[in-house]
Structure 1
Amino acid sequence: MIAIIKTGGKQYRVEEGGIISVEKLEGEIGAKVSFEEVLMKGDEKDLKVGNPFIKDSKVEAEIVGHDHADKVFGIKHKAKKRQLKKFGHKQPMTQLKILKIS
């Protein structure tokens, strides 16, 4: 069974037993989290689509790690002044293992 959940302003396709990386969630490694904002769930035979979310449906997951995404670089430049500033950002991420879709 697969589902599409919403967290951190983004949508993720998840399936039971899969590992996904989402924007940082509070909690320690091994803690359980659940997502009630399920947009779609089902399989090839039975598919449910929410309007916008499916009532009485949730996805349970376990935090397996915290990490950072790849570094993204940016540049600030002032024309005709020979001024250039380079900066970078690493977004904190959380890895989740999907336990149950209900």
Structure 2
Amino acid sequence: MYAIVEIAGQQFKVVKDQKVFVHRLQTEEGKQVSFDNVLLIGEGDNVTVGAPAIDGAQVGAKVLKHLKGDKVIVFKKKRRKGYRVKNGHRQSLTEIVIESIAASGAKKAAPAKAEKAAPKAEAKKATAKADDLKKVEGIGPKIAETLADAGITTFAELAKTDAAKISEIIAGVRGNHVTDTWPAQAQLAADGKWDELKKWQDELNGGKA
């Protein structure tokens, strides 16, 4: 039996006893963890496809260890300012082993659409009082949208969110994102200290000091 499951914003095809490297999870090493966003399950000629997920399906796993991936070089340059910064980044990862795959039937497409309607309405309502999170160095339109979907729409809310948690939320957004300074930047924005924030951002590289 195999399954296609979404873990920390990424989709994986997994089988029992397979080891997988995923974006950093908050679960401690040695602990069990389960994922219920199972998109497809196959066993022989029988394939069950969700709409979009399979109702009641679950993939169980065990966290083996937390580690960092290979170094990626990040280079930033500001035109006409003589500003060039070269930094390395290593993505935080978690190694897990798949222990079980369980299925119990697919969701109907109609209810899935109905469930999505409410969050969109809530997101639209929340946007009325939302801050422009793109003013934080390192946050672009896609990340701002992802944070809003997770309920983080103001500088104050972002400032209260741990950097590791932010990394987990935006794990599905393409690119190498360093979130270490985002809460502190957001706090300055929330306090209205724009001059201090701008001075600091001139020294940052994609959100990294």
One fold, TM greater than 0.5?
yes
**Structure 2, unaligned stretches of length 5 or more?**
103-209
- TM superposition shift of 1:83: 2.8
- TM superposition shift of 1:42: 1.0
Asked if 1:10 corresponds to 2:10, the answer is yes
Relative to its length, the structure with more strand (as a share) is 1
TM-score, with structure 1 as normaliser? 0.92
Asked if 1:39 corresponds to 2:39, the answer is yes
Which one is further off, 82-91 or 57-66?
82-91
- TM superposition shift of 1:78: 2.6
Partner SS state of residue 70, structure 2: coil
TM-score, with structure 2 as normaliser? 0.47
Q: Which has the higher contact order (CA 8 A, sep 6+)?
A: 1
Asked if 1:49 corresponds to 2:49, the answer is yes
Relative to its length, the structure with more helix (as a share) is 2
How many residue pairs get aligned? The number is 102
AA matched with 1:92: S
AA matched with 1:54: I
- TM superposition shift of 1:43: 2.4
- Could you tell me which residue of structure 2 aligns to residue 64 of structure 1? 64
Rg: which structure is higher? 2
Backbone CA RMSD of aligned residues: 1.2
* Counterparts of 1:3 and 1:35, CA distance in 2: 11
- TM superposition shift of 1:40: 0.5
- Could you tell me which residue of structure 2 aligns to residue 91 of structure 1? 91
| Percentage identity across paired residues of the two chains | 35
Which one is further off, 74-83 or 21-30?
74-83
* Counterparts of 1:18 and 1:2, CA distance in 2: 10
Partner SS state of residue 17, structure 2: coil
* Counterparts of 2:99 and 2:91, CA distance in 1: 25
**Structure 1, unaligned stretches of length 5 or more?**
none
* Counterparts of 1:86 and 1:38, CA distance in 2: 40
**Which aligned segments of 4 or more residues in structure 1 are displaced greater than 6 angstroms?**
none
- TM superposition shift of 1:81: 4.2
- Could you tell me which residue of structure 2 aligns to residue 73 of structure 1? 73
AA matched with 1:90: R
- Could you tell me which residue of structure 1 aligns to residue 119 of structure 2? none
- TM superposition shift of 1:37: 0.4
Please give the per-residue CA displacement for 1:42-91, whole angstroms capped at 9, x wherever unaligned: 12311111000000110000011111111111111133444311122111
